[in-house]
Structure formats: C-alpha cells, structure tokens
Structure 1
Amino acid sequence: LLLMMTINIARGRACFLAPSFVVFVMRNISSDPLPIIAHCFSGDDDLGNHTLYGNENFHWSFCLNAIPTTEFFCHVWWGSKTQQFVAFKQKAFLNKVVNAWIARDDGIYLSHYFSFQNSVKVYDW
C-alpha cells in the first residue's frame, strides 16, 4: 500500500484512493523576451532545469505519501532576478490539487485553478 501511495512522477498511474496532484511553473512576462529557467526538485526527485519562453509552462503530477511528507521546491531565474519557493508541501488535510506558480514582470504568483485565474502575488523578484 505504501508503495502505491508514494510519488508517481511521469508514470501515468492513478493515485490509490486519492486524487493526483499537479504543480505548474509558468512564464507570463510581457516586458522582456528573456526566458525564465526553473529548477524544481523534492527529496526524492530532481525534475531538472526547464527553460520557458513566451507563456510556456512545465508541470508534473504526483501522488501524496501516506505520511504527509511530500514537498517540492523550485528555484526560478529571470535574467539577474531569482526567487526560491516551496512549490508544494503536503499537509495532513485540505491539500490543493492544483498549484500553479506564475512568473510575471513583478514577481511570482500562485493560483489553485487549471485556468491560472484568481492568482495571488506571493513573492517579489
């Protein structure tokens, strides 16, 4: 049972008795054509560097651990600007299924919708 509930990145399997969770990192910068570079990782998985242009995004999905320890971190660069943040941290209850991190001209925003609407600024550059 524990094996079935551990992280399942890019394996295409459904989570056992729970929804899968997804994290997006999206570039939505209009003032400069420079790409953003995003590097996201957990204690078990390094998702590598992703270079995003225009309104590109990358995302990954995963299942929660039986014991609430799932946690992903991201480091985002845009030219000389940089920001680090916890992209997802598992709680015992009420985890958000969608965590969309949006890099904009003035900082990093978070939305919990697949449409990326209703985003809230969380970090300045």
Structure 2
Amino acid sequence: FKSIGVLLAIVITLVPISSEALCLNPPSRDVFVYRNITSDSAPVKVHCFSGDDDFGDHMLYGKQYFKFSFCPNYFPTTEFFCHLWWGNKEKGFVAFKQKTFKNYDSTIWLAKDDGIYMTHYES
C-alpha cells in the first residue's frame, strides 16, 4: 500500500490542474485587463492564452475589463501571454509568469492612453 500511495502522490503532482475549483496549493490566481483609455471610444481587443488555455478575443469598451482565473502548476512553470490592439496600436506582453509573480493573488493590467501598466495584490 505504501508504494501505491507514493505513486498516487507522484501522479497528482505531475498532472496539470486546470480547473479553478481544484486549486489546492498554490491557490488560484486572477488576471485582469482593464480598458482605461480616455482619449477616444475605440475598443481595445484583448487575447490572452497559455500553452494549455486560450481565452479567445474580447472587445473592451469604456471602462470594461476582462478577467481570467487559473490554477498555477505545482512546479513554477505557469505563464500567460496577452496581446492588446487599440486602433493602429498593438502590444504583446507576459501577463503572468509564475516564477516572477508567484505571490500575487491578482495581477492587474491597465491599458491607458500612453501605455500598458501593471499592478498587483499580494497574498
């Protein structure tokens, strides 16, 4: 029975957990992308993804935001990338990297008139 328990522990740590409901350790994380542009009404298109998840395209108007939540991997390999388009401007960036943002409960990105800014909430 001891070898079955060890095997089960190995399998659990190697299987990536993608459902937020199954997050145990580390706990789930949130990423927000806010449209905070005041100079015009053109929408911001947001596309965020990782190697395992693709959240598709989202159009943000006014002060709207897009949020996604996920369970980081047990080993610190989770990484999400986002791409924003606003009129003829576009920018891609790493929205979450587990090794860098490991203690952040929420990572918040602000698309503003003069650029993209990041802030966070730590646990």
Instruction: Give distance in 2, aligned partners of 1:56 and 1:44.
Output: 26
Query: Which residue type is aligned with residue 100 of structure 1?
Result: I
Give how far 1:68 is off: 1.1
1:34 is the counterpart of 2:42: yes
Give how far 1:91 is off: 1.3
Give a deviation string over 1:41-62, Cα, whole Å, max 9, x none.
0001111000000010011111
Equivalent residue of 2:118, what SS?
strand
Identity over aligned pairs, percent:
55
Give a deviation string over 1:9-30, Cα, whole Å, max 9, x none.
xxx5151133210000110000
Give the alignment's TM-score, normalised by structure 1. Answer: 0.80
Query: Of 15, 20, 29, which residue of structure 1 is paired with 2:23?
Result: 15
Give the aligned CA root-mean-square deviation in angstroms: 2.1
Report if aligned partners of 1:5, 1:16 keep a CA contact under 8 Å in 2: no
Give the alignment's TM-score, normalised by structure 2. Answer: 0.81
Aligned residues: 111
- Whichever structure has more helix as a proportion of its residues is 2
Give a deviation string over 1:72-107, Cα, whole Å, max 9, x none.
000000000011100000118843111111100000
Q: Which runs of 5+ in 2 are unaligned?
A: 1-11
Q: 2:13 maps to what in 1?
A: 2
Q: Which runs of 5+ in 1 are unaligned?
A: 114-125
Report if aligned partners of 1:24, 1:101 keep a CA contact under 8 Å in 2: yes
Q: 1:112 maps to what in 2?
A: 120
Query: Which residue type is aligned with residue 2 of structure 1?
Result: T
Change in Cα spacing, 1:4 to 1:63, as seen in structure 2 (3 Å) is farther
Instruction: Give distance in 2, aligned partners of 1:111 and 1:31.
Output: 22
